[in-house]
Each structure stands twice: as C-alpha cells, then as structure tokens.
Amino acid sequence: MLATLLGACATASPQPARSQLQLVDRAHEFDELLTPLAGQPVDRQWAAIQKHFATALPGFYDFERFGDQRDFVRGIMMKKLESWSADRAAAVRVADSFASTFAPAVRDFDRAIGPLPADEPIYLVMSLGEFDGGSRTIAGREYLFFAADGIAQYQGQNNPRTFLHHELFHLYHSPRFGDCKGLWCSLWQEGLAVHASAVLNPGATDAELGLVLPEPIRAKVEANKAEAACAMIARLDSEGWANYGPIFSGGKPLSPNLPSRFGYLLGQWVASDLGKGKSLTEMAEWKGPELRARVEASLRRMASCP
C-alpha cells in the first residue's frame, strides 16, 4: 500500500506556478488625505495631493506627463476633485473590496494562462477620472495601476473579473511583445487583451469587454467593417496621437461611421481570426514582422482595400 501511495505521489501532475504579485493600496491613502481638506479650494487640495505623493508615486499627479493633452486632462481632474464628496462613497467601496476581487481573478489567470511577472508592484489609486486600469510610466518605470474611482465610474455594475483579466493580460503580454511602434502594435495588444478576456469569461457583455465607451461601438463597426479595416490598413505603421486617439482613445472619430475606440473591437476580430486552434499562452509569444504580416492579412480578409 505504501509503495502504491508513493508511486501515485511521484506521478501526480505538478501544481501550476502561482503569481506572486504585490498590491500596494494608495487609494485609501488618497481618501484619508482629502477628508480633512473637504471644502477647501481645489487648487489647495491638488497641491496637497502632489506634495503627499511626490515620493510614493513620483510624477503620477503631475500634468506634464500628459504632454499636449495636459490642459484637457487638468480640466477633467479638477472637475472630479470638485465633485469628490459626491463620488467618494462609490470609489471607497471599490477600494474596500478590491483586494478580495483581485486575488481570485489572478488565480483564474494563473490556471488558464500562466503566472504573471512580479518584478514591480501593482498600485490601487484614485485617478480622478483619468482611467480605471492601465499601465503608466512613473519615474522611468512602467507599472500597472487600477483606479478605484475609475472602476466605480466606468465599470458600474459590470462583473469586474473581465476587466481585471484584460489588464492582467497586458501585464503578462507586455514583456513578451517588447517595444513595438506603429498602430498595428496597438491593434494587436488591445485586440488580444479583449480576445483573452472574452475567452476567459464566456458570455461577457460588451460593457464588461470595454466596448461601450464613449458609446456602444459594435453596431457601427459591424455595419462598416470594410471601412474600419481599410482605415486601419492605411495606418498600420503610423504613430502619434492624431491616429491613435480616434482608434484607441477618445479622440475625434475618423468618420461618422467609425466610433472612437473602434480599434478594440477590430483588434478582437483579428485576434479571434488568427487564434483559431491556438492557446492564449501561445498567442502571447507572437511578435515581429511575421505577426505584422498576419495582422494585415487578417484585416484584408475583412475588406478589399486600395
């Protein structure tokens, strides 16, 4: 009997490696800082925020990191600061529950794809409306951030698991994909993250997949698939905000037929097309000129373009 048991142990499948991520909570710290400043002018509150976080998050609360968009972002953030007393409760609720929501999402990711890099901590912050989750460069290093107030604002009643898996996939994919210029790189990175979150969360809604901001995009893009594909093909190697903004952010749409951020859905279609019969772990390793050619070929299967 003992030999049988030992033999069973020796042949048992090894347990998958687990991510060892460090989650640093700066969201509650932000709230604790602002509470005694309630009612004071927003400029004074902002100065206190910058001073307090100058060491803990150097440059994060600095408009200069937004470049040409700094005045636009400043306007958004100052309005959010003015309304903080009204928005605070929802943001704090997210912050209170985030760790318990985050941990099972990471475990699910580990089982489905593999362990996540743990070189840098992940931060939970208050972004004053800038984002709900994403990578940002702080003091010359890239970190993954989640914003409790942004999650409360943009995710609403959505199941947060889908959103978390999208951002965690970026964390997994980024070191494998490396530095890549051109819009085709963004199309693949964002499209693959949407595809991954959809695969990991069957039945996820467009809202949970991030396809309804700033408006629901699926109907327009499906009705104008050829225009979307050709617009992307014409810009595959382009760089800069003029092209990136309308396709992947809130920039002015390229045409009335193509809503802002249509690249997320278009990229998901490309990833789904190229990923038939492939695992997410395998797809995360693809890169370089060969991948670019495959991305373009997928787009050209959607439309006949000049």
pLDDT at 139: 81
pLDDT at 251 over 70: yes
pLDDT at 85: 92
User: What mean pLDDT is predicted for residues 84-103?
Assistant: 96
pLDDT at 209: 97
DSSP structure string for 103-163: HHHHHHHHHHT-PPP-SS-EEEE--TTS-SEEEEEETTEEEEEEEHHHHHHHTTTS-HHHH
Q: Over the stretch 41-54, which tens digit does the pLDDT of each residue have?
A: 999 999 999 999 99
Q: Over the stretch 163-194, which tens digit does the pLDDT of each residue have?
A: 999 999 999 999 999 999 999 999 999 999 99
CB contact at 8 A, 204 and 194: no
Q: Over the stretch 7-66, which tens digit does the pLDDT of each residue have?
A: 333 444 445 578 899 999 999 999 999 999 988 999 999 999 999 999 989 999 998 888
Task: With CA atoms as reference, report the closest residue to 272 among 199, 218, 205, 211.
Answer: 199
Q: How confident is the model at residue 257 (pLDDT cuts 50, 70, 90)?
A: very high
